[in-house]
Amino acid sequence: IPNNFTIHGVWPDHTSFVMYDCDPLKKYKTIDDTNILTELDARWPQLTSTKIIGLQFQRFWEYEYRKHGTCCADVFNQSMYFDISMKLTDSIDLLKILRTKGIKPGYTYTGDQISRAIKSVTQNNPN
């Protein structure tokens, strides 16, 4: 079980329409580089399977790439999509932000309290 927040996915956004399932038939290239797999698994674990099965079959990453990553494939190839995902994850330590703002694991807080804490640091409304 991760000790910090992890990502579920990275979803390109557009102001006029929802972006998903842009090219679901696009081929997913299995990631073979063990360094990248280790880095990606640390930030984006496939929690619906064991680590070994997740790294071997990469079903969740494939699903997320086909559903969302293909929506930016004209700008970012698959490798870049996952690299950007890791960089975005590294850019915000959500658990640290919450702790700094007095929100600690094991206690109860409202959604508004959590949202305000995040916005006070990131200057953006969490979604």
Catalytic residues: 8, 64, 68
Q: Phi-psi category of 22—alpha, beta or left, where left has phi over 0 and alpha has psi -120 to 50?
A: alpha
Please state, in angstroms and rounded to a whole number, the distance separating the CA atoms of residues 43 and 38.
Answer: 9
| Burial of 36 per CB tally in 10 Å (0-12, 13-18, 19+) | middle
Structure tokens at 45: 């674990």
Whose tokens are 């930016």? That residue is 72
